[in-house]
Structure 1
């Protein structure tokens, strides 16, 4: 009886987070539809196709990376549709106050055969690898533009840097065993997953970040008419601003924080007013990506259920 009640509660949490966040995201896009339409009009057909392809690549990389991370830490694979649903829950959850709803809903949507502690560690690794790859890639782009040194040659090493940072974090956590509850280090059995096996998901995450930064560069280059050098600088600065926004966890989705940091960093390239307008448009476009991810997850789940029914 208790198990059935817990299962129903978990399903209600998943459904509630999904639909409430979906409505909030759709309302945001509806209010600024004219601005988004104007940006795409300036991009032209080629620009729209490029941006769409980059966002699709970003989505595929994120879904595949999460599926592989869960397999590494829990030993149980996630189906493509469930991995896509987890991504949509995580992306949409940031539109609700509190900042934890996407993570909570994703854990609630996890099959019961998978250990919750393993999924918590998998989620921590996913967040670390996403944050660190974005920060390093943004920093390399900014250093390349500022100094002229070919530091972008270090881009292939970014996934390895991120995994090395995770291992250092794991070692530091284990050394703090006496200062934290004993079950925390036990749950973070990072040593059970060899670093070489973590490189694959890290590369996929770097592909995701590269696709999103490339999308920002395309928007600023083709939409605003900047040179490609300035466009990549704007993209790198946006990556750094996004990193700061993620770190300010008390603000849902880093809203306002990300835009404020970006305006401060990019004012010399775009000008204050244009930087603010551009940051707002990118935010809206990424909200559209979040919304699309929900529809993609729903379509994959529908196709999976149809296939399951036809095989019976």
Structure 2
């Protein structure tokens, strides 16, 4: 949706949240090195994403058709700490042909057991255009990648019983040292029961933009450094964050924010923004669900750290169902 400026020098006509209406895969079948389809019969056709990645390895573009059936993946329904799909080779693109409204990765097709849905353990990975649903643990995890660059998670719908998208140093087998540089998390709809987007442990210049993040009253919509080393120069813009416990939280003195603006924090149970780091946090040019400055100061902004500057702020009522 679009929100128009009323009373401050603000970006006029701010688009917030997710929009799948104009989804384009950006590749054609002839561009792809492998095609995943429910009716795999030709050379370079596979019936699962895992099989395509195992066969093709690094430097591969995988196009996934809408008749894809996630039950063809190797099952992780024993409840183990494993992912249904693991991307372990660098320079890989996994892209759906028709977008998240038509291409479903159901992590628990029979609603039993379950682990993580998607692990990304390599640099230069694009994961785009899927409905990642019914994840018993995290929906998408970027983990155990040393100095990884070029990771893009875009145009997905993620539904998880824990975290939606988690970026962490903790590898799939425990404490793997890792960091990410410039990860892009954009235009995703995330329904979560713990953290919506959680960035931790050495993430540098992450970009979190145009996401719709919907919680169930627990934990954080967007969290910088819930444990470990700080997150550096984060850009958090044009997100719609709704019904989490806290909309946005910065947890650590080592975490810095390049931009926190044009976001809409509405109907979060405790706070819109919690600054638990000692330095000042610039949170100007956001919408907090009210036009009253005193209400924002008393009820929407807090934290054990330094000051949070929130004025000027957007004073425009918006549809609380925007972006769903």
Shorter chain as normaliser: what TM range?
under 0.3
Between 1 and 2, higher relative CO (CA 8 Å, sep ≥ 6) is seen in 1
**Per residue, is there more helix in 1 or in 2?**
1
**Per residue, is there more strand in 1 or in 2?**
2
Query: What is the TM-score normalised by the length of structure 1?
Result: 0.26
